[in-house]
C-alpha cells in the first residue's frame, strides 16, 4: 500500500470572529492516495473550501492534524507538489495568460522549461489563442480554464480544484474534465474536485460528501473511467 499523499486525522478548523467561534470544518479524517479521483460534494458553506485549503497547506487546522506522508513538509508542497484551482478569480491581473500559467513553474525549480510547459498546458486545454490576453480581457469561464491550465502545467502529485467548472456550461465542463482526466490517466496524480455538479462528480472514482462541516468519505466508490 503506497503512502498517502495527504492524511487528515480528526482535522478541524474553527474561525474566530470577534468573541465568537465559527466552526468551518469538524474533525475530518481522510486520506488521499496517488491516482485517486475524488469528487467532494456538498452545499455552499459546508466546509469544502476549508478542507481543500488545509490539504494544500494554505491554512492550518485548529483541531487534529494534517500530514503529507508522501510529499514531505508543508513548506515544500506548493507549487510543484500540490496545485490548486481556486474558487475565486485567481489570475494575477498584471500578467497575461501565458505568464500567469508559467508563474508557478518559475516559482518552483522548473525555471528554464517554464514557458514550454505553460504553452503545453494551454494547448492541452485549447487556450493557446488566449496566451497574450490579460485576465481582465477574459470571460469568467476562460479565466477558470486558464487557472486549471496553471494548475496542471507543473505536473503536480496532487491537484485540488475548488469548483473548477462553476462558471462553465455543461459541454465545456465535460470537455475540460475529459482533457483533464485523459491528461492524468497514465499518471498517478491524485485529483480532488470540490463541486456542486453531480455530472462532474459522476466522472470521479470516489465521492466524498460534506454537510455542515462534517465529511463523509465513503459515499460512493466507483472505478476510474
Partner 1 sequence: MISIWLSGLLARRLGRLLGTATGVALAVALLADLGAFLVSSSASMTAKAAASLPVDWQLQLSGGADAPAVTAAIGKATAYDRLETVGYADAEGFEAQAGGTVQTTGPGKAVGLAPSYRRNFPAQLRLLLGSLDGVLIAQQTAANLHVGVGDSVTIRRLSLPPVDVRVDGVIDLPNADSMFQAIGLLPGAAPQAPPDNVLLLPLDRWHRLFDPQAAGRPESVSIQFHIGIRHAGLPADPEAAYAQTTNSARNLEARIAGSGLLADNLAARLDGVRSDALYAKVLFLFLGAPGAVLAALLTIAVAASGSSRRRRDQALLRIRCATNLQIMSLAAIEAVSVAAAGIAIGWLLAGVLSAAVLHAAIFAPGMAIWLGVSALVGLIATAAALLVPALASARNLTVMQAAATVANLPTPLWQRIYLDAALLALSAILFWQSQNSGYQLVLAPEGVAASSVDYHAFLAPLSFWVGTGLLTMRLLGLSLGRGRNLLAQALRPVAGPLSGIVAASLARQRRRVTRGAVLLVVAFSFATSIALFDTTYNAQSRIDAELTNGADVTVTGTSAAPAGSMLSRLAAIPGVAAAQAMQHRFAYVGNDLQDLYGIDAGHIGEATRMSDAYFHNGDARATLAALAGRADGLLVSEETVHDFQLQPGDRINLRLLSLADHQYHVVPFTFIGVVREFPTAPKDSFLVANASYVADQTGSSAAEIALLRSSGDPAVVAQAARAVTASVPAMKVSDIGESLHLIESSLTAIDVAGLTHLELVFAILMAAGAGGVVFALDLVDRRRALILLSALGATHRQIGAFLWSEALLILTVGSVLGLAGGFAVAQMLVKLLTGVFDPPPQSLILPWGYLFLSLLSAAAVIGIAAIAAQIFSRRSAARGLREL
Which segment (3-11, 28-36, 93-101, 170-178) binds partner 1 by CB under 8 A?
A: 93-101
Which segment (32-40, 61-69, 94-102, 185-193) binds partner 1 by CB under 8 A?
A: 94-102
> Are residues 193 and 151 in contact, defined by beta-carbon separation less than 8 angstroms?
no
Select from 107, 124, 219, 224 the one that contacts partner 1 (CB under 8 A): 107
Residue from 92, 13, 112 nearest 53 by CA = 13
- The answer to the question of residue 214 lying near partner 1 (CB under 8 A) is no
- The answer to the question of residue 202 lying near partner 1 (CB under 8 A) is no
CB of 23 to partner 1, least distance (A): 15
Count of residues of this chain found to bind partner 1 when the rule CB under 8 A is applied: 31
- The answer to the question of residue 95 lying near partner 1 (CB under 8 A) is yes
- The answer to the question of residue 135 lying near partner 1 (CB under 8 A) is yes
Return the number of the residue (118 or 191) whose C-beta is nearest partner 1: 118
Interaction residues for partner 1, span 52-91 (CB under 8 A)? 53-54, 58-60, 77-80, 84, 86, 88, 90
- The answer to the question of residue 131 lying near partner 1 (CB under 8 A) is no
- The answer to the question of residue 103 lying near partner 1 (CB under 8 A) is yes
Cα 41 from chain centre: 14
Residue numbers of the site for partner 1 (CB under 8 A)?
Answer: 50, 53-54, 58-60, 77-80, 84, 86, 88, 90, 92-96, 99, 102-104, 106-108, 111, 134-136, 150
Amino acid at each position: 500500500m503506497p503512502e498517502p499523499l495527504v492524511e487528515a486525522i480528526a482535522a478541524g478548523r474553527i474561525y474566530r470572529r470577534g468573541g465568537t467561534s465559527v466552526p468551518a470544518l469538524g474533525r475530518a479524517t481522510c486520506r488521499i492516495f496517488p491516482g485517486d479521483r475524488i469528487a467532494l460534494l456538498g452545499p455552499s458553506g459546508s466546509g469544502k473550501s476549508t478542507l481543500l485549503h488545509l490539504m494544500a497547506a494554505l491554512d492550518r487546522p485548529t483541531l487534529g492534524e494534517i500530514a503529507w506522508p508522501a510529499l514531505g513538509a508543508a513548506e515544500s508542497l506548493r507549487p510543484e507538489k500540490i496545485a490548486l484551482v481556486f474558487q475565486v478569480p485567481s489570475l494575477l491581473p498584471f500578467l497575461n495568460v501565458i505568464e500567469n500559467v508559467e508563474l508557478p513553474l518559475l516559482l518552483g525549480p522548473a525555471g528554464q522549461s517554464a514557458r514550454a510547459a505553460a504553452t503545453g498546458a494551454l494547448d492541452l486545454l485549447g487556450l493557446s489563442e488566449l496566451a497574450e490576453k490579460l485576465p481582465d480581457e477574459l470571460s469568467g469561464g476562460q479565466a477558470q480554464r486558464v487557472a486549471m491550465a496553471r494548475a496542471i502545467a507543473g505536473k503536480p502529485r496532487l491537484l485540488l480544484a475548488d469548483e473548477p467548472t462553476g462558471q462553465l456550461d455543461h459541454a465545456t465542463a465535460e470537455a475540460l474534465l475529459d482533457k483533464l482526466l485523459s491528461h492524468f490517466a497514465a499518471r498517478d496524480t491524485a485529483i480532488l474536485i470540490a463541486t456542486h455538479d453531480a455530472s462532474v462528480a459522476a466522472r470521479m472514482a470516489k465521492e466524498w460528501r460534506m454537510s455542515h462541516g462534517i465529511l463523509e468519505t465513503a459515499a460512493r466508490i466507483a472505478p476510474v473511467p
